[in-house]
Structure 1
Amino acid sequence: MFLAAALAGLAGPALAQQTADQCTALRDVVIDAAAVTSARVVAAADTLPAYCEVRATARPAVSIEVRLPMEAWNGKYYQSGCGGFCGVLGRADASGGWVNAMRPGLERGYATATSDSGHHALGVTDGGWALGNPHAERDWGWRSIGETHRVAQAMIGAFYGGASEQAIFQGCSTGGRMAHMAAQRYPEMFDGIISGAPALDYTGLVGTKMSWLIQANTAPDGSQVLGPDEAARIGEAVLAQCDAADGAEDGAIADPRACEVDYSALGLSNQQMDTLMKWREGPRNAAGDQLYPGGIPEGSEPFWWLWLTGNAEGGGKLVNAFAGDFGRYMAFDTDPGPAWTPMDFDFETDPARMSTSAGFYNSDNPDLTAFREAGGKMIVWHGWADAIVTPYKTVDWYEKASAAAGGEDALKENVALFMVPGLDHCGILPGPGGINAAALDPMTPLEAWLNDGTAPTSILAGQ
């Protein structure tokens, strides 16, 4: 697949150890429309080998980090996405997990890289950087993916003397959106792609659907209709009535589409029931047209505190933070600014007012022809208990991608979908039996698929 044109030859795996001087010399590498700002050796620690850490900026403002193994490079490249609105370089690697982190690649001898997606922010729910800044919106939407790859390949060439022979991209949530964007805009750049809980349609998800959830849960007096106490009661009823629908009482709902719940014994008020039904259904306009596929799945209730209702200590309720800054600064053709709130969203007119950003951000095009023709392989995974990025959208995309490919059997030659019962968004919080991101390993089956043609059958760790 694609190799940077400026780099000649292939670097073989398991090269001799690189020196500290070779690492620091990368500070002087000249790259078009980019500049190296630092290069240093980071000692081996925990499961990570010693590596050369390079920081660089691709114009106008994409901050990039590249990590190059000091020895035993496997000749390959691994790039990771970022979560939320990004803006914090290397945030995922600070957690010790693998989602949106360089860790899985570096542990296996890959040269790795990530970026802040083109802006600096105070946190991943901070969207103020986008106010009147279309260049930053473009970079967050798609351009930072290619720029990170370009700068990383220049560093690989300068450090090892040749280009990588294989490239993998991994991301979840916004990183999953980036994964699909990579397959669409850069179909020959990555041989393998891992996409988790992809926020494919940001204007539909964060603009329309999240505003719907917030409006539905806000009483006329401004109070919250459903809180953590109601979430607990609803979750207990759902589990009691739906757990065994798949033939096994294991604390997880295999497919919420098969779940029918009677809430009559819970003592919910009419207003609370109305909110719950709107959450389950998803956004509609006044004519009853579905504006986004599906709502909040049954079985996700244990995670509502983080995303939807908050908890007794005042934590969580991140949907409000994401929807607020997205609408103020990122969503509309003309930014309304800090006075806007999700309560201002108009389901009749506002979806059409996000057309420009939809072109920058959204990666839900089901046509993967170019990626498939290039021989690319993609693993897509999503938790059935995801309360913020609905799994129904991923299923909808997969069904449309199957149709575009000429049938599911044809799509399966390049794309494998895994829907995980009981799993929270990106596996952040532990679900039934402790299921979370640490229980998953999509990297091993992707490597087998790429290297010996064995199609994946599971992404559970150790299987």
Structure 2
Amino acid sequence: MNLFKGQTKGRLTAALLVCSLCCILSKAYGKDDGWSTKNTLLSCDDRMKTAFKPDVNTSVIAVKSFKKGDYLVLGGNATGTTPTAESDLCMVKLIVGPGNAGPATAPSTSSGIGIEVWLPVGRNWNGRVHALGGGGWQGGAAGSATEIASTTAAAIAGGEGAVSSTTDTGHSIPDSGAFAMNPDGTVNEILWTDFASRAIHEQAVKTKALATAYYGTAPKYSYWDGGSTGGRQGLNLAQNHPTDFDGIIAMYPAINWTRFITSELYPQIVYQRDLAGVPLSKAQSDLVSNAAIAACDVVGGQHLGYIIDPSTCAYDPLRDSKVLCSLDGGANTTSACVKKIQAEAVNKIWYGMTADGSVPDPATDNGWSDAFSDAIVGSGNHRWFGLSRGTTFYSPTLVGLASPDMEFPISSDMVALELRNSAVAGVGFVNAAGNGRSIWKLLSYEELSNAYDRGVAEQADFGEVNTDSPDLSIFKNRGGKILTWHGLADELIMPQGTVNYYNRVAAKMGGIANVQSFYRLYLVPGLGHGTSNGTSNPAAVIPNFKSDQFYSLLINWVENNVVPDQVVLQAGTASVTRSMPICVYPKKITYRGGAPTVSTSYSCS
């Protein structure tokens, strides 16, 4: 399905509507002198509900003015921890239909796409749109008239001075994929399309239309900023709606959605099939993961505490007597020791999903080789990638893929949707045809592989959510820019998939140099899925981005043609400071000599 086809006429119509609306409002409210003015063309009150009507599907459901220092609440009471407005703001909530009809209590019933927009007062607007992506299944309160969805968007509008927005992607359920299944157990294709692509395009169009109507002049630059689902959304916009944004940040993107989401259940299937349903304990997974770090983190004769390049690490716990139990021929007598069958399970988790549950010798293939291919991965026995060595199996802030506590729920939801069987999902999945009953625990390797194949084959049903087209030529030719970074210790989305996609784009679009002219990728050692430490070593001091550092690189590239290159990241505690460069892929961080804790000891080559 080509989501870009037929959009030109729609954009022209939207532009004409905005221009017409601005002309009407200029006559109604008086002449505007640009975004430097204190006043705006639309009043930040209920009059906007009738004044702003860009199309028949769009309705304003809530408007509220916030003064500097006001608590950011709509309904309910503020507490001492409630954020406050950094400057005077106008919040507008929109619903874009038609939504999906159905019983009032069904998760799949929707009145439409909710969009929450935050606008600085006229003189504070910097002329930009800085729209935000979401995470997971997204959902939430963007379409609620009584609850604020994003204090982050409010902070951007209040502190940065850009118009910001977010969307619920057409449903209000943030923690379950139940919205994507109709009450009769069939796939909800309408809301899949909204979730996959339509909602973010409507967010872009309506945010810019509202800004134009509010200030009397169109935004000069528009930026998308998202990670995980938000990263996938950014690349979806570049692929299918290439004129929506001038610059896109797509961090640790959830592209290849059905492929990697299905494979996220694989570690738990390994536990069920190979270990009789008994997962590795946290102490056991920490033992083998930290052993992998110790085997692969030495630079300049020192242990860094995290691995700079996991693609070169082939650590094998089956060959490490220090982690193997003494009863299995090893030397470890602690309760955290691992049996050989458990060490083999760890190798499977690191290699990634296979159709039959097999795993090659890590010395032959450590799970990274397919990442550097310019062909899409998954048609052979190796269905998808595994966790990088040294990445934590669980997480204090995220449900890890190999956690002993539970499966990653998005993965069991997705497999239930692929198999059209709600019982496969976890207990949080609600559907009239039957609620989730964690039947995923009974799946064989072959049955999980079949679910994987169905997810790929039925992309039309799933709104083309995989977002894996390598053709970004229209976005490139109109001058758009993309920046991506991906942590090499990502606990949820394997960085190998992002590397593979980038190589596919290069193969499609004339090589790495041509792609780097508009799209640049950085691989960041030690960072997790938006977390400052994705490794199993909690003591690791890992250089990270400063606030807005990555966004500033994008602005400077788009607006000043300053091409981003090597970037220095820093970290520090009371007793330890570190810095390290990150490189534009395919260059790698290369140690040149000196203290391995400072960036000047490295280069990109």
Please tell me the TM-score bracket, short chain as reference: 0.7 to 0.9
Contact conserved, 1:200 with 1:364, CA < 8 A, in 2?
yes
- From 131, 141, 147, the equivalent of 2:196 is 141
Match of 2:506 in 1: 402
Structure 1 residue 297, shift from structure 2 partner: 0.1
- From 479, 487, 498, the equivalent of 1:383 is 487
Contact conserved, 2:348 with 2:357, CA < 8 A, in 1?
no
Match of 1:243 in 2: 297
After superposing the two structures, state which structure 1 stretch, 45-54 or 335-344, moved more. Answer: 335-344
Contact conserved, 1:293 with 1:392, CA < 8 A, in 2?
no
Are 1:266 and 2:323 an aligned pair? yes
Distance 2:492 2:440 in 1: 15
Distance 2:547 2:463 in 1: 35
One-letter amino acid of the structure 1 residue matched with residue 220 of structure 2? E
Structure 1 residue 222, shift from structure 2 partner: 5.0
Match of 1:325 in 2: 413
Match of 1:40 in 2: 64
Match of 1:342 in 2: 440
Distance 2:285 2:275 in 1: 21
Structure 1 residue 304, shift from structure 2 partner: 4.8
- From 550, 556, 563, the equivalent of 1:442 is 550
Contact conserved, 2:247 with 2:482, CA < 8 A, in 1?
yes
One-letter amino acid of the structure 1 residue matched with residue 412 of structure 2? G
**Number of aligned pairs?**
450
SS across alignment from 1:217: helix
One-letter amino acid of the structure 1 residue matched with residue 120 of structure 2? P
One-letter amino acid of the structure 1 residue matched with residue 388 of structure 2? P
Contact conserved, 1:426 with 1:437, CA < 8 A, in 2?
no
Contact conserved, 1:427 with 1:436, CA < 8 A, in 2?
no
Match of 1:352 in 2: 453
Structure 1 residue 286, shift from structure 2 partner: 3.5
1:71-116 CA distance string (max 9 Å, x none): 311122121111000111369x9787x6xx5644653211111101
Structure having greater relative contact order (Cα 8 Å, sep ≥ 6): 1
Q: Specify every segment of 5 or more residues in structure 2 that has no aligned partner in the other structure, as ranges.
A: 1-7, 23-31, 70-83, 100-111, 183-187, 325-337, 359-379, 424-433, 572-580, 582-605
Contact conserved, 2:64 with 2:90, CA < 8 A, in 1?
yes
Contact conserved, 1:293 with 1:396, CA < 8 A, in 2?
no
One-letter amino acid of the structure 2 residue matched with residue 351 of structure 1? Y
Sort the Cα spacing of 1:171 and 1:290 in 2 relative to 1 into closer, same or farther, 3 A. Answer: farther
Q: Specify every segment of 5 or more residues in structure 1 that has no aligned partner in the other structure, as ranges.
A: none
Are 1:27 and 2:131 an aligned pair? no
One-letter amino acid of the structure 1 residue matched with residue 194 of structure 2? D
Are 1:299 and 2:351 an aligned pair? no
Structure 1 residue 400, shift from structure 2 partner: 1.3
TM score, norm. by length of structure 2:
0.68
The structure whose residues are more often helix, as a share, is: 1
1:281-338 CA distance string (max 9 Å, x none): 1111239734444211012127556413447xx5xx5x53111222224x35786763
Structure 1 residue 460, shift from structure 2 partner: 4.2
Contact conserved, 1:442 with 1:459, CA < 8 A, in 2?
no
Distance 1:170 1:441 in 2: 12
TM score, norm. by length of structure 1:
0.87
- From 34, 37, 48, the equivalent of 1:15 is 37
1:424-461 CA distance string (max 9 Å, x none): 11226576325567666311000100111001132848
SS across alignment from 1:367: coil
Sort the Cα spacing of 1:20 and 1:377 in 2 relative to 1 into closer, same or farther, 3 A. Answer: closer
Contact conserved, 1:36 with 1:55, CA < 8 A, in 2?
yes
Distance 2:520 2:260 in 1: 23
Contact conserved, 1:441 with 1:459, CA < 8 A, in 2?
no
Identity, % of aligned positions: 25
Distance 1:435 1:42 in 2: 37
Distance 2:181 2:479 in 1: 39
Are 1:452 and 2:540 an aligned pair? no
Distance 1:82 1:11 in 2: 35
Contact conserved, 2:394 with 2:402, CA < 8 A, in 1?
no
Sort the Cα spacing of 1:429 and 1:25 in 2 relative to 1 into closer, same or farther, 3 A. Answer: farther
One-letter amino acid of the structure 1 residue matched with residue 95 of structure 2? T
Sort the Cα spacing of 1:461 and 1:179 in 2 relative to 1 into closer, same or farther, 3 A. Answer: farther
1:247-278 CA distance string (max 9 Å, x none): 76332211101113242220221221121111
Sort the Cα spacing of 1:20 and 1:428 in 2 relative to 1 into closer, same or farther, 3 A. Answer: farther
Are 1:257 and 2:327 an aligned pair? no
- From 451, 464, 475, the equivalent of 1:371 is 475
Are 1:185 and 2:240 an aligned pair? yes
